[in-house]
Copies of this chain bind each other. A is one copy, B any other.
Amino acid sequence: MPIKVTCIAPVNIAIIKYWGKRDDDLILPINDSISVTLSTDHLRTKTTITAGPEITKNVLYLNGVEESFDNPRILRCFQEVRKKAKASGKCPKPELLEWNIHVESENNFPTAAGLASSAAGYACFVYTLATLYGIESDELSGIARMGSGSACRSLHSGYVQWARGERADGLDSLAIQLAPASAWPDMHVLILVVSDRKKATASTHGMATSVKTSDLLKHRASVCVPERVKLVQKAITEKDFDTFGRIAMKDSNQFHAICLDTYPPCFYMNDVSRSVIRMVDQINKLAGENAPVRVAYSFDAGPNACLFLMEKDVAEVSAIVRRVFPFNGCTAEEYYKGIPNDEPAIEAIPTTVLESFVAEEPNQLRYIIHTKVGDGPKRVD
């Protein structure tokens, strides 16, 4: 009789970026990072694992396509979770640990959208496997980390820090929760998915090249990041959006600066990304040159923008985004997904504000996802 477990896991977006490994095999980073876990209502990986004596070999399907189970990172996560389950003695059915597994994993967002699908994917794989084997552990994040570094952060809800750790064996390089999503309920997120034809450098390769060639990366990791981590921790505790947003933008920029300081350079932002940055800067200056930050951008290793903002500013900012990035060829609902717009609030925005923004050519964005900070992985069957 096969046993079957289904779980979901979230995407996370780093505010203080992870870029550079000090150990490629264990995936140990050169600096701490801090992330925000996004709501699984709108972006999630769902993984079903079936184990049974009649399953003749381990198989893995990603979004309906069979992938090799011999991927060393998959194998490693699989072996590490089994090892932990054996050691715990908590597995409800000891023979389960000998059975092969059948894994089906799917994202509810296009992988091609460049939305950190490997983080949610490895977090979900490790969490689902651990659930199957009846274990819970603070150390699951350390196992997910060996699949894809940033996956460790997707094991927690809310605001999460991945400590670089000091040990050579990586046992202290784990993710911990700084605050649950409920601690700062006003935080909203708009994801601007950019239409892009060009394939960027794979982030694993780019990161390794940066460590080898960027003269600025060491200074970032040893001097800039530790200061920023403290500032962001404090900003989260105090719900100080001005500091949170400013450091988020500066750290996103610095990460892309390091990519450019790499030889040969790697580029992840494009001209549309830069238009988003200019728009955000203009929004933040609507109330004056030195007004507090109302909206902040962060870009991962791709052209898509992740905007952070407080609930009170959502209507105005989303109206400006749609003014600057008009669309055609799809419905308003296809263009603006996730949490629906508050149309009366949008109607109330003065046209003088909107008209101060210049519209770009249509369809530079594929779509927008409006979401919030959310929960960690959970069992859903």
Contacts and interface: CB of A to CB of B under 8 A. Distances in A.
Contact of A265 (B253, B261, B271): B253
Nearest to A271: B271
Contacts of A80: none
A220 B258 CA distance: 12
Nearest to A274: B267
Nearest to A217: B216
Contacts of A253: 260-263, 265
Contact of A261 (B257, B262, B263): B257
Interface residue SS majority, chain A: helix
Interface residues of A, number: 27
A183 interface: no
A378 interface: no
A55 interface: no
A77 interface: no
A113 to B, nearest CB: 19
A172 interface: no
Contacts of A260: 253-254, 256-257, 260
A167 interface: no
A270 to B, nearest CB: 6
A205 interface: no
Interface in A270-327: 270-271, 274, 277, 281
A369 to B, nearest CB: 24
A219 interface: yes
